[in-house]
Structure 1
């Protein structure tokens, strides 16, 4: 059992019209799929799920989905939101087998940026190239997030995926594909320095700034 339990109910009526009526009633249509069982349409409470969706664990933690008293271990795989209203339109949950390795997306947490040499230098820009990473592990080992320590980050430094300490049992599959997949996670670069143009002094004009025709004309006049 996980630490997070979500209540749901089974639904027998599907289709756009039925889903629209559910949303008007403050409910969210959803689907559970995967494993040996057939896909199961369910419905969840909009208000409770919206509150849960404000937490990071909702996206990267194995959830206990209680459907009419029957509990299944699931992982959120997709969420469709309304383009401008605070409404969740649909959810996809994947069944989880506790004995099988799964792949999931985990959020990166950047810590100690303010005490790092780069963080203390106002002329340095700290660029976070990635905000999450795809990992593989058993469900019991899935972390809610992975910390990236920036305490020693200095100007010119780059932190790559391979340099991030991972929890026991957790791997980054892309690293097995070669060095070219060892993506940069954080880069500390020199900030752009604005150079003010020198004020132009009246009457101080170089010959190079005078059109060639004028220079020629002046030389002929002198002759």
Structure 2
């Protein structure tokens, strides 16, 4: 049995650009799904359902690609997400910014000025504040050599003296102070390393929960029999 956790680096077999396993979700059934970015797992659609997702730096299969939101090279985008189904021989667990909770709290909308947290690949905790709740102008983002435009992202200003996110951390989840889930990290600003951007779970009809209305946070206390 293989143990996997949020903050672990993953990639799609046959590719070299690794990202981060953000966390675990269900759709009301017994199957568990991991979340990351399209540009990490789905390669802008140059992929197939069932492609193996592996732990970075190894051939250990942790799941199979299931679905993703298409990225458009010509129009503004709002989401950069992909989901994979966990392999039956892996056991997931959560690493939380605040260890007194073993799993996340609620999915909710952040507030401007709120402190936020991210579990880095090495297990350390990065901190920031919400600088802008929803970007209202096109943000040009370079993803694996492709220039894409995004709207409606949440901007995070680092407060820890180091960048809130670095290369390889795309796909990480962003947490609030009660371990609530706010969104999934997409990347940092090329012009200002203290700024990072995440895709919010809740944003009118454009958030992750709007695209997948039945998505639920996987809670080991409730979902393990």
Is the TM value for this pair above 0.5? Answer: no
Q: Which has the higher helix share?
A: 1
| Structure 2 length-normalised TM | 0.22
Answer 1 or 2: higher relative contact order, Cα 8 Å, separation at least 6. 2
